[in-house]
């Protein structure tokens, strides 16, 4: 069936643009919709009747290999602390984080992402603890690498907020987070983490130019193989609240916002510019964060770039699903799995989620 398309015809537009005459007849192209047939010959419910056929024609899949599990690490041994705003998530001392990572590895989870809970006494204005080879994140990285070998990816977060008394991701000068001086520190932080055994360096700070600086610093020190996963489209979101409780940066921030460096939630074109710059600077993967309220951004990036995309189901999203399930308003397992497949359908390759072990367990049946 040949139908005239309502879409503007590109060939005609190009022809009219480059010649002085106009083309008044353009051969009709079949409309994409003409492939879909019509009722009653076509009944889409036929392919939804049994499990086997639903599974046969399923467009999107999910596997444990797609998952990255963010974990919170504290000092001490055999210590675990619940986080009130994140039911089911615990801060763990390194020995327990190693056990948790071994479990993640057995479940086939791709990687863990380590977030340190730095004691208040080690926080400073300039966050110099970030550069200490014996700090929590580096010590945890070495221990997990030793236990799991190369079977499990280790993602290290590059940003200064776990280490600064003001709780910001960069250096604060005259009440402003300065860019270029911060980038110099971040590049050194990345090298320290790579030396400890990080497989992936993930800058979450949103400074301009940090991807290029980090890539250069890693290469100069012989870490050409270390992956850079840029938090490229990271929004100034209120959904990070429970995370800031978890790492103890909420009280340091004291209500200050990160709007001068993280993206405005009203913007999506700007995400394309962020990603284009990061690819130019050498990013291997890019991230969208938060996840569920920003699935349009995931899809937009997928349609515009051929680079693997990660999405972060952040602490506030996790908290929403958990608290609603605790109140019996939602089925915990069902909404967890539905949120995962939604990320994949939107175009995400990797998913950072606090649900990772449960999802992986669930995929095993």
Beta carbon nearer to ligand PBG, 315 or 322 = 315
* Footprint of ligand PBG (CB under 6 A): 157, 159, 161, 169, 204, 240, 243-244, 258, 314-315
Pairing of the two strands 200-203 and 153-158? parallel
Q: Is the CB of 91 or the CB of 258 nearer to ligand PBG? A: 258
Contact status, residue 200 vs residue 111, Cβ threshold 8 Å = yes
CB of 315 to ligand PBG, least distance (A): 3
Least distance between ligand PBG and beta carbon 346 (Å): 18
CB of 144 vs ligand PBG, minimal distance in Å: 19
SS3 of 116-166: ECCCHHHCECCCHHHHCCCCHHHHHHHHHHHHHCCCCEEEEEECCCCCECC
Q: Which is nearer to ligand PBG, 240 or 343 (by Cβ)? A: 240
Q: Report the C-alpha dihedral over residues 224, 314, 96, 79, rounded to 10 degrees.
A: 130
β-bridge pairing 309-313 and 176-178? unpaired
Q: Residue 311 to residues 142, 252, 290, 301: CA-CA distances in angstroms?
A: 26, 27, 7, 11
Query: In the complex, what is the shortest distance from the CB of residue 320 to ligand PBG, in angstroms, rounded to a whole number?
Result: 12
Helix (H) or strand (E) run with residue 229 in it: strand 227-234
Could you give the residue numbers annotated as active site?
234, 289
Phi, psi of 333 (to 5 degrees): -65, -45
- What per-residue string of b and e applies to 10-39 under the rule 16 or more CB within 10 Å gives b? eeeeeeeeeeeeeeeeeeeeeeeeeeeeee
DSSP code at position 235: B
Tokens of 328: 């019996």
Query: Would you say 41 or 72 has its CB closer to ligand PBG?
Result: 72
Q: Which is nearer to ligand PBG, 196 or 314 (CB)?
A: 314
Nearest residue (CB) to ligand PBG, 199 versus 306: 199
Beta strands at 67-74 and 350-353: parallel, antiparallel or unpaired:
parallel
Contact 143, 198 (CB under 8 A): no
Beta carbons of 201 and 193 less than 8 angstroms apart: yes
């Amino acid at each position: 069936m040949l139908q005239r398309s309502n879409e503007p015809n590109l060939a005609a537009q190009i022809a009219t643009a480059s010649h002085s005459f106009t083309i008044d007849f353009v051969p009709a192209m079949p409309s994409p919709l003409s492939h879909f047939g019509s009722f009653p010959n076509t009944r889409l419910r036929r392919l939804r009747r049994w499990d086997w056929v639903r599974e046969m024609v399923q467009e999107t899949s999910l596997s444990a290999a797609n998952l990255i599990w963010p974990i919170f690490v504290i000092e001490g041994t055999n210590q675990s602390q619940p986080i009130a705003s994140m039911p089911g998530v615990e801060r763990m001392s390194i020995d327990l984080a190693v056990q948790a990572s071994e479990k993640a590895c057995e479940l086939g989870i791709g990687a863990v992402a380590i977030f340190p809970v730095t004691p208040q006494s080690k926080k400073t204005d300039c966050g110099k603890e970030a550069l200490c080879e014996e700090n929590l994140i580096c010590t945890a990285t070495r221990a997990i690498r030793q236990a799991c070998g190369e079977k499990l990816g280790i993602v290290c977060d590059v940003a200064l907020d776990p280490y600064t008394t003001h709780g910001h991701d960069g250096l604060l000068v005259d009440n402003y987070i300065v860019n270029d001086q911060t980038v110099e520190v971040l590049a050194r932080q990345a090298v320290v983490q790579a030396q400890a055994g990080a497989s992936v360096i993930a800058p979450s700070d949103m400074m301009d130019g940090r991807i290029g600086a980090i890539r250069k610093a890693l290469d100069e020190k012989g870490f050409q193989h270390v992956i850079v996963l840029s938090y490229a489209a990271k929004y100034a979101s209120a959904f990070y609240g429970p995370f800031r409780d978890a790492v103890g940066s909420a009280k340091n921030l004291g209500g200050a916002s990160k709007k001068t460096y993280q993206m405005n939630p009203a913007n999506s074109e700007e995400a394309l510019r962020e990603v284009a710059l990061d690819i130019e600077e050498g990013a291997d993967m890019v991230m969208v964060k938060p996840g569920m309220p920003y699935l349009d951004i995931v899809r937009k990036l997928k349609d515009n770039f051929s680079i693997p995309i990660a999405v972060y189901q952040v602490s506030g999203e996790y908290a929403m699903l958990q608290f609603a399930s605790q109140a019996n308003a939602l089925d915990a397992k069902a909404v967890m799995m539905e949120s995962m497949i939604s990320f994949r359908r939107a175009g995400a390759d990797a998913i950072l989620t606090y649900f990772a072990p449960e999802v992986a367990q669930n995929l095993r049946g």
